[in-house]
């Protein structure tokens, strides 16, 4: 039970938690209710930056969700131009994160990081389809052992103003490991290699590092889903 309440905090969140605690103490010296408001703010920061451990499926060929959140409609779209993947549309899965979701991002598939690109942009609502093209984003390209490329993109949202990505070109990464986060509401896209079908349906709740989005070794058709 304690494991579900006491959750590790990502290191990027500690300055926010500490800042809120210090502000709470200082403001509380002037007016006691401000102390409690500061403590509530510190508690929210600790909650927002939580970084719970996940059990990652490690079989070769599996692509896992890079983020927690709700899966938006699945579409065919051209990957970010800055990654030089060509103009051919690929299957794009988009995950919308609200402020209550875990916001750390995890590597969708193991391999070598072959491309990174940061693009400044707007901050429209991350649930809108146009956010993939218009919003500030960090694009990541990973080459898997069989040579195929998988792309996942961190996208800032309406109130998000900071994308953190700790990857480097040439780095070897493992499926499901934490590589960054997006602060306060965001979106994460993933582009599947040609011919790979998603194993999830729009509306499903994704669990970063655990939910299997696709299997590159399978020829199973796209799955349908319905709310019951």
Rounded distance between C-alpha atoms, residue 106 and residue 176, angstroms: 5
Q: Domain holding 197: CATH number?
A: 2.70.70.10
Contact 107, 150 (CB under 8 A): no
Same domain, 174 and 201: yes
Same domain, 73 and 184: yes
Catalytic residue (one of 4, 94, 186, 218): 186
Same domain, 43 and 87: no
* Single pTM value for the model: 0.86
pLDDT in tens, the chain (228 residues): 445 556 788 787 788 888 888 888 888 888 888 888 888 888 887 877 788 899 999 899 999 999 999 999 999 999 998 898 889 999 999 999 888 888 899 999 999 999 999 988 777 666 777 777 778 899 999 999 999 999 999 998 776 567 889 999 999 999 999 999 887 668 899 999 999 999 999 999 999 999 999 999 988 888 888 888
Residue ranges making up the domain that contains 193: 62-215
Residue 220 lies in a domain: no
Same domain, 33 and 74: no
Same domain, 27 and 111: no
DSSP alpha helix (H) spans, 29-178: 32-48, 131-134
Same domain, 85 and 198: yes
Same domain, 8 and 102: no
Same domain, 163 and 201: yes
Residue 228 lies in a domain: no
Residue 225 lies in a domain: no
From the list 96, 129, 117, the residue with the least C-alpha distance to 205 is: 96
Same domain, 68 and 31: no
Instruction: Tell me if residue 132 is catalytic.
Output: no
Rounded distance between C-alpha atoms, residue 86 and residue 78, angstroms: 8
């Amino acid at each position: 039970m304690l494991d579900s309440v006491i959750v590790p905090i990502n290191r990027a969140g500690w300055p926010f938690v500490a800042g809120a605690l210090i502000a709470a103490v200082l403001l509380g010296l002037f007016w006691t209710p401000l102390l409690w408001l500061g403590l509530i703010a510190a508690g929210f920061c600790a909650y927002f930056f939580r970084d719970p451990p996940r059990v990652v499926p490690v079989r070769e060929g599996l692509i896992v969700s890079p983020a927690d959140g709700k899966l938006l409609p699945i579409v065919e779209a051209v990957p970010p131009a800055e990654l030089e993947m060509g103009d051919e549309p690929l299957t794009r899965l988009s995950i919308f994160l609200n402020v209550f979701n875990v916001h750390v991002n995890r590597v969708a598939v193991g391999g070598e990081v072959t491309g990174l690109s940061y693009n400044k942009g707007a901050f429209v609502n991350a649930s809108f389809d146009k956010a993939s093209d218009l919003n500030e984003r960090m694009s990541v390209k990973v080459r898997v052992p069989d040579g195929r490329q998988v792309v996942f993109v961190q996208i800032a949202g309406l109130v998000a103003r900071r994308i953190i990505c700790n990857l480097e070109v040439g780095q070897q990464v493992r499926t499901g490991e934490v590589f960054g986060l997006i602060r306060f509401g965001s979106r994460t896209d993933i582009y599947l290699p040609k011919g790979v079908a998603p194993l999830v349906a729009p509306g499903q709740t994704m669990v970063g590092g655990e939910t299997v989005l696709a299997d590159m070794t399978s020829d199973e058709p796209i799955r349908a889903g319905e709310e019951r």
